[in-house]
């Protein structure tokens, strides 16, 4: 009897216009989405190769390398897995530049199309969570109540067949016919990409995407059946489901960052950069005042030009350099401590705000799926943190190998506001023979990615079990008369 119900549901679903429409949608829009994302990937790859080649030419030829203000650069290479999350990749850090004061991060700028930026990219996470999730509800909202209205469910249950088998037969048959076109479109799109991205990590990532997508649609199918069980009228069931979809797909994800910003106020990145630059200027001004005070006692009444003409090996010049080195060391340590505390406070605040936003948003299974797909495709928040960590290590390496080997001796005057600096090299440091530090971004490992999405995976599984349990108990107690 269960096999008969399964075959009956398959036949009804295949002859339904919903299946035909879903098939056309899947085999056209999904491959098109992957093709457009692959085009963006190729564009990113070209930009990366040009930027990296330009920097390597400058660094290897020594242009500007023998100066204390040398700027080291590093770029994040595009990964084939990013094709599956084109929209989120555009928000990832792309470039790190070092300086004597610290490093700076720049995001990529691939598309200058205003409409593309305005309406977003048509990538796999968007198709799955925004469009196909809605279609899954439309495909399951009347699986039970339609047969109650037509009286066929009463005839089926008059036979000696357990109700849970009826429920499972309906769920499995319609779910199978729903995911087949989607998997067909997904596989077709992957084949059309050719060998340009068909690497082992990409195939592994694509497989993980399929598993997450299958689980996500199963959650929404059980949600549709749950509504179909508890609402006898199909029109009422679809209204409730559309309202629920609006809540989990739009309201929760959009309001979570707003609530987090109100709960954990944090300054913007632009304001933080301004505050840090102001702090650096304040320490520079303090060092200048200390230097002028010292110059007033060592070189009383002398201008900057006159101090510059004093012999380097004179007693007064050596005394000034010794005392100024102590002042510079003290203020540099104070500056580094103050700036470091500023950065830690800012990053901790931002991390706390992002954590609150994430905890609120994962109430929605749509957000859970979005987080999981983007992290798996190396385009999630974890990659941002990973990039910043490696950028910090890159800055430390450049500082250790280059910046710290230039010794600045600043001279001030108590008579005027002039200033000049004498730059010397550390013992054994030869700028033209030092290897230029290279930034090679290493994405997070598969094991680290799986560990980072474990909470979302458990929540999505919990939603599935909850919806199915409610649908099962409701169907068992349903009065079909």
Q: What is the pLDDT of residue 410?
A: 78
Q: What is the mean pLDDT of residues 293-320?
A: 82
**According to DSSP H, which parts of 231-267 are helical?**
234-246, 252-263
Tell me: pLDDT of 313 over 80: no
Predicted confidence (pLDDT) per residue in 140-186, tens digit: 888 888 888 877 877 777 777 788 888 888 888 889 889 999 999 99
Scanning the structure block, which residue is given the tokens 């995001």?
A: 107
Q: Greater confidence, 423 or 123?
A: 123
Give the DSSP H/E element, type plus range, for residue 158.
Answer: none
Residues of the chain by 3-state class (helix, strand, coil), percent to 5? 75, 5, 20
Predicted confidence (pLDDT) per residue in 248-285, tens digit: 999 999 999 999 999 998 888 788 888 888 998 898 88
Closest CA to 92 of 347, 384, 355: 384
Mean pLDDT of the chain: 85
Q: What is the mean pLDDT of residues 431-449?
A: 84
Pairing state between β 104-107 and 406-412:
unpaired
Q: What is the pLDDT of residue 2?
A: 66
Pairing state between β 73-75 and 439-440:
parallel
The whole-angstrom separation of Cα 173 and Cα 380 is 34
Predicted confidence (pLDDT) per residue in 33-90, tens digit: 998 889 888 989 999 999 988 888 777 665 455 677 888 899 999 999 999 998 888 8
Pairing state between β 73-75 and 406-412:
unpaired
Tell me: pLDDT of 3 over 80: no
Q: What is the pLDDT of residue 385?
A: 86
**Residues of the chain with pLDDT > 90: what percent?**
34
CB 65 within 8 A of CB 431: yes
């Amino acid at each position: 009897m269960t096999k008969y119900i399964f075959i009956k549901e398959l036949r009804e679903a295949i002859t339904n216009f919903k299946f035909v429409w879903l098939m056309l949608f899947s085999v056209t829009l999904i491959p098109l989405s992957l093709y457009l994302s692959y085009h963006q990937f190729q564009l990113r790859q070209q930009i990366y190769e040009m930027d990296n080649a330009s920097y390597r030419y400058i660094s290897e030829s020594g242009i500007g390398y023998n100066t204390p203000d040398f700027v080291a650069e590093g770029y994040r290479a595009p990964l084939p897995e990013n094709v599956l999350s084109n929209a989120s990749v555009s928000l990832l850090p792309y470039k790190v530049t070092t300086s004597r004061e610290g490093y700076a991060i720049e995001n990529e700028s691939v598309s200058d199309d205003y409409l593309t930026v305005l309406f977003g990219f048509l990538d796999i996470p968007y198709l799955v969570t925004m469009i196909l999730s809605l279609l899954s509800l439309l495909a399951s909202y009347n699986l039970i109540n339609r047969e109650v209205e037509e009286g066929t469910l009463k005839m089926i249950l008059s036979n000696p067949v357990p109700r849970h088998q009826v429920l499972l037969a309906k769920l499995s048959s319609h779910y199978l016919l729903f995911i087949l076109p989607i998997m067909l479109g997904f596989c077709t799109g992957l084949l059309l990409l050719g060998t340009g991205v068909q690497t082992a990590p990409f195939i592994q990532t694509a497989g993980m995407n399929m598993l997450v997508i299958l689980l996500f649609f199963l959650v929404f199918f059980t949600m549709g059946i749950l509504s179909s069980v508890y609402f006898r009228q199909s029109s009422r069931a679809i209204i409730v489901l559309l309202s629920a979809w609006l809540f989990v797909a739009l309201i929760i994800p959009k309001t979570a960052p707003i609530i987090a910003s109100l709960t954990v106020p944090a300054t913007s990145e632009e304001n933080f950069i301004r505050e840090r630059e102001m702090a650096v200027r304040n320490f520079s001004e303090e060092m200048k005042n200390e230097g002028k005070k010292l110059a007033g006692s060592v070189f009383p009444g002398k201008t900057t030009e006159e101090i510059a003409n004093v012999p380097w090996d004179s007693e007064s010049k050596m005394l000034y350099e010794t005392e100024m080195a102590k002042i510079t060391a003290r203020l540099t340590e104070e500056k580094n401590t103050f700036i470091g505390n500023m950065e830690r406070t800012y990053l901790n605040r931002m991390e706390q705000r992002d954590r609150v936003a994430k905890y609120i948003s994962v109430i929605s299974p749509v957000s859970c799926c979005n987080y999981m797909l983007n992290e798996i495709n190396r385009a999630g928040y974890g990659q941002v943190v990973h990039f910043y960590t490696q950028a910090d290590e890159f800055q430390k390496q450049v500082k250790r190998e280059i910046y710290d080997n230039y010794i600045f001796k600043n001279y001030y005057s108590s008579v005027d506001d002039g200033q000049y600096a004498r730059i010397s090299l550390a013992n054994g440091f030869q700028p033209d023979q030092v290897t230029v530090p290279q930034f090679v971004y290493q994405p997070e490992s598969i094991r680290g990615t799986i560990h980072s999405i474990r909470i979302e995976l458990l929540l999505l599984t919990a939603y599935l079990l909850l919806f199915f349990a409610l649908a099962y108990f409701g169907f068992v107690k349903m009065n079909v008369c």
